[in-house]
Amino acid sequence: MSSVAFVLIAVLTLAAALAAATLQKLMHATLSFALTFVGVAALFFLLGAEFVGLALIFVYIGAVAVLVVFTILLTRRDVGKDRGANWGGAFLAVAMFGGLTWAILKTQSVAIAAPHIRALTVRRIGEALMTSYVWPLQCVGLLLTAALIGALVLVMEEKQ
């Protein structure tokens, strides 16, 4: 694994995330959000979880970001002025980052190098899904069904 690639991708991801958090224009922020996930997927690839990265691209960028765009388009009318910078939120976020970093650095057990691993095949994931994780799989299916129906119900026009 190359450190340079890692650093580059990490920087890209964080920059895009920051942009998504602070940009004024909604569309720009959304596209930055998509870009953030591209970076995250690349990180996944670097870490050897290719399948998950791909899934991330399909789901987040392909579905969620598009949904967000659609919703923004649907709720266009209200484009009032944003309030001033929320210093409380910023402070909290910084505090959170500081705390997490301190916790990570303090923990000795995570100061390790990457071990050598066997390549993860889709076959293995599939096998795992169908045997050990078959019940969670079914539940997730049910959950998705419920979410689908729920979303439909929520946006249905009320009968007059």
Partner 1 sequence: MSWIIDHLWLIPAVPFAASLAILSLPNGRHRGAAALAIAGQIAALVLSFFAFLPTLQVSGFRAVQNFTWFTFGDHALRLGWLLDPLAAVMLTMITLVGLCIFIFSTGYMAGDRNFVRFFAYLSFFSGAMLGLVISNSLLLLFICWELVGLASYLLIGFWIERQSAAAAAKKAFITTRIGDMGFFLGLLWLYGRSGTLLFYDGGNGCLESAGLAMLGASAMAIALLIFCGAVGKSGQFPLHVWLPDAMEGPTPVSALIHAATMVAAGVFLVARVYPIFSLGAIDGVTSSLTVVVWIGVTTALMAALIAIAQADIKRILAYSTVSQLGLMMVSLGVGGVAAGMMHLLAHGFFKALLFLGAGSVIHGCHHEQDIRKMGGLRRLMPVTFSTYAIGMMALSGVPLFFSGGWTKEEILHVTARWPSSSLPYYFLLAGVVLTALYMTRQIIYVFFAHRRAASEHAHESPRVMTMPLIVLASCAILFSIVLTPAWPWLHGYLIDEPVHFEFARLIQPGLFLSLVLVGAGVALGIWMYRKAGTQDQQRPADTDPLEFAQPQLFRFLQNKMWIDELYGRTVIAFSWMSARLSDWMDRHFWDGLVRGVGAIGRLFGTFTASVDERGINPGVDETTVGTRGLGRLMSAAHSGQIQTYLGVIAIGALALLLFYAWLA
Partner 2 sequence: MLQVVLIVSAALFSTGLLAALSRRHAIFILIGIEMMLGAANLNFIAFWRFSPQSQPPTGIMIAIFSIAIAAAEAAVGLALVIAVYRHYRTTNVDHLNQLKG
Applying CB under 8 A, the residues found at the interface with partner 1 are: 86, 88-89, 92, 95-96, 99-100, 102-103, 106-107
* Shortest spacing between CB 39 and partner 2, in angstroms: 9
Residue with smaller CB distance to partner 1, 80 or 119: 80
106 binds, among partner 2, partner 1, none (CB under 5 to 8 A by kind): partner 1
120 binds, among partner 2, partner 1, none (CB under 5 to 8 A by kind): partner 2
Residue with smaller CB distance to partner 1, 103 or 130: 103
Residue type, 136: P
Residue type, 138: Q
* Shortest spacing between CB 41 and partner 2, in angstroms: 9
* SS (HEC) of the chain: CCHHHHHHHHHHHHHHHHHHHHCCCHHHHHHHHHHHHHHHHHHHHHHCCHHHHHHHHHHHHHHHHHHHHHHHHHCCCCCCCCCCCCHHHHHHHHHHHHHHHHHHHHCHHHCCCCCCCCCCCHHHHHHHHHHCCHHHHHHHHHHHHHHHHHHHHHHCCCCC
* Shortest spacing between CB 5 and partner 2, in angstroms: 13
54 binds, among partner 2, partner 1, none (CB under 5 to 8 A by kind): none
142 binds, among partner 2, partner 1, none (CB under 5 to 8 A by kind): none
* Shortest spacing between CB 83 and partner 1, in angstroms: 11
